[in-house]
Structure 1
Amino acid sequence: MSMHSEWEIERKFIVSEIPEGLLEPRTPKEIRQGYLALESEKEIRIRDKGGKYTMTIKQGKGLKRLETQIALSQEQFDTLWPLTMGMRVEKRRYDIKFLSHVLSLDLYYGELEPLMTLEVEFNSEEASQEFLPPDFTGQEVTTDQDYKNANLACFGLPGKFAAL
């Protein structure tokens, strides 16, 4: 069984409009993820990212969290998936190279449409602080718990999203 833990340092932004021509040359990955357990500082999720199946345990909140990932077979994923009913997120992810970073642009669908977010992972907290996001990003929501995928999965779009 393949398993590893590492610190995830990530910032997240709302995207209100995608620049023309940004997505056309790119092929998105379809992502479905569901949550098996949620606590204030720990979550356990399973994910199908374009046919790659994983279980992830995330601990902590905000910019820096400990992430432990375990590879799953499709059979294991399919067995666990029904347990995530009512706690799911489905989105298309476009990875975009931007200077020395990879931006993950997520277009949510289903009940979370028309939400669009941009996530960027970093090697260090210093690098995360120095990062200047592209001009098509809007409000930063790194520390806003309403925009965590786990909370989106359980509670849907944040009420204030309609006001953006």
Structure 2
Amino acid sequence: MAQEIERKFLVIGEFKSSAFAQSRIVQGYISSARGRTVRVRIRDDKGYLTIKGASNTSGTSRYEWEKELPLSEAEELMRLCEPGIIDKTRYLVRSGKHVFEVDEFYGENEGLIVAEVELASEDEAFVKPDFIGEEVTGDIRYYNSQLMKKPYKTW
């Protein structure tokens, strides 16, 4: 079973000049039920289908399975998604031996910028870049599957 361990933070400073890569992501959810999400993602010119399980108590760890799909299949699956699409640019920023994924949201979630770092264990140490603000790991309001239902602009 593939376990995803990550921590999530709000972004409070400039990060784009430190990014070594970026990509546009559009995603929707076939199922956004808590504890069993099924996501369709188009990242640049590739498609992905991802299934995620329930988070542990801290919100740091959960099961994740992902499969790359042909773009045409991902586009077809997007038609099956629940209302509400997530649109964002993902920037990759190195910090120490880790890479932070910084998501700048558009549309109904414009104004929200969140950074995540994947870890090998829940207690793994990492270097926080200067642009990292408040930790929001485990706060379901910041889960993409919730942002499509209750966008940031409505808070």
With normalisation by structure 2, the TM-score equals 0.89
1:69 aligns with 2:58: no
Pick closer, same or farther for the CA change 1:36–1:20 going to 2, 3 Å.
closer
Query: Which of 53, 57, 61 does residue 51 from structure 2 map onto?
Result: 57
1:119 aligns with 2:113: no
Deviations 1:80-116 (A, max 9, x none): 1122252321110111111000011111111111110
Gaps of 5+ in 2: none
* Structure (1 or 2) with the greater helix fraction: 1
With normalisation by structure 1, the TM-score equals 0.85
- Mean CA deviation greater in 14-23 or 38-47: 14-23
User: CA contact under 8 A between 2:15 and 2:93: conserved in structure 1?
Assistant: no
Query: Which of 116, 120, 128 does residue 133 from structure 1 map onto?
Result: 128
Q: Once the 2 structures are TM-superposed, how far is the Cα of residue 11 of structure 1 from its aligned partner?
A: 0.4
Equivalences for residues 22-61 of structure 1 within 5 A: 22-23=18-19, 26-61=20-55
Query: Which of 121, 145, 154 does residue 149 from structure 2 map onto?
Result: 154
Aligned-pair identity (%): 34
Residue 11 of structure 1 is matched in structure 2 by: 7
User: CA contact under 8 A between 1:12 and 1:141: conserved in structure 2?
Assistant: yes
User: CA contact under 8 A between 1:147 and 1:158: conserved in structure 2?
Assistant: no
Deviations 1:48-107 (A, max 9, x none): 112121100000121001001122112211111122252321110111111000011111
User: CA contact under 8 A between 2:16 and 2:91: conserved in structure 1?
Assistant: no
Computed over aligned residues only, the root mean square deviation of the Cα atoms, in angstroms, reads 1.8
AA of the residue aligned to 1:106: D
1:75, 1:159 → 2: CA distance?
Answer: 33
